[in-house]
Structures are given as structure tokens and as C-alpha cells.
Structure 1
Amino acid sequence: MKKYFSLLSFIAIFFIGMQFSLAQEADRQDNPEVVAKQKTYELHQLLKLTGKQQGAMFDVLVDAEKNIIELNKNKVSESVEHERMKAINEKVQANFKKILTPEQFQMYQASLVTDKK
């Protein structure tokens, strides 16, 4: 009897742990700040951003992520979604160009080309 109780307790704890893990993963994907923070960190590693640049980039990326989440919630045709994504990306690029130095912006564009390959 004690063995069955131990086994059932272990199984219950395992499933509870799985639920918490899945809930945290879903939170991360729906939270634009978390995604923007990760992208800002990656850009900082690539471009050696200053503190002021990091803050500005984070704000731009949070705004873009919120727009993307909103776009994904709305059920629109694929062509409309493509056009809206293109507009979001153009806005991000324009803001990045204002924030980054010309050398940093060139490095950023070069990284986009290598990422596509």
C-alpha cells in the first residue's frame, strides 16, 4: 500500500510540474517584453550597444512585438497579414536607423543577410 501511495504521489508531482512548465512557456511567448528583451540582448552582443541605445531598441522591439501579437490574434487573409508584417518591419528598420550609428546599422543589415542564408 505504501508503494502505491509513493508511486501515485510521484506521478501527481510529475504532472503538476509539467503544468507549471507549460504555463511558463506560454507566458513567455505571449509577453512582448520578454521577447524584446531577448532580441535586445542579441543585438547588444552583435552591435555593442550603449545603454541609451539598448533602451531605445527595447522600446521599438516591444512596440513591434505587441503589433505582431495583435496581428496574429486577428484572423485576416495571408496577403493582408504579409502587408502588415512588412509595414511593421519597415517601421522597425526606420527606428533602428535613427538609433544606431551608420557602422552599427551596416553590421545589423549584414547580419540580416547572413541570417537569411
Structure 2
Amino acid sequence: MQTGSDSDKRKLLSALAHGSIFISVLVVSIAIPIAILFISEDTLIKDNAKEAINFHLNVWLWAILIVVPSFLTFGLVGLIWLVLHWGLSIWAIIHSLQTPDEPFRYPFIFRIV
């Protein structure tokens, strides 16, 4: 059985891994889940950190791919991408806080790590 302290730690680190994407779009944001992956011994926290790393890589990939279509549609494609990106991140944070015993899986992403 898990103690309250372990559950709180799991919630905090999992939410931090998923929420790090809001810090910046640079390398700093992906460094947080990478650090959590290496310092944590909990497999569930590691699963959430890996998923967050995969989501970061997918966000960067899709951002590169939608630059031209975004210009052609006067920013509409970019706006849709931004809403999906933020919405999925917020969903992951909420899921991590509400159900800390279950790793979050982003839909429709390529899993590299």
C-alpha cells in the first residue's frame, strides 16, 4: 500500500513532467522530464516522464511541419495546433493529479523514447 507522501510525490513529479512544456519551448522545458526520468526510482513517474519527453518531441516536430500551412491559412493551422498542444498538456496534468496510480498516454503521438 502506498503512503500519502509517496502519492503526493508521484502527483507532483508526474504533473511537473507534463507541465514543463509551459515553461518554454526551448531545451529547458524538455530537460525537466529528462531529469525526472533519471532521478526517480518510481516506474510510474518514469512512464509519465517518458510520455512527456515524447510529447515535447512531437510538439517540436509538428511545429516545424505546420509553419508553411500556417502562413497559407493566415495562422489558422497554427492556432489549432496551439489549442491542441495546450489542451493535451492541461489534460495530462489533471490526469496526473487525479489518478496518480495510472500513467497518462497522449493520443495520436509518435513514441520515440
TM normalised by structure 2 equals: 0.41
Higher RCO (Cα < 8 Å, 6 or more apart): 2
Larger Rg: 1
Which one has a larger percent helix, Structure 1 or Structure 2? Answer: 1
TM-score, length basis structure 1: 0.40
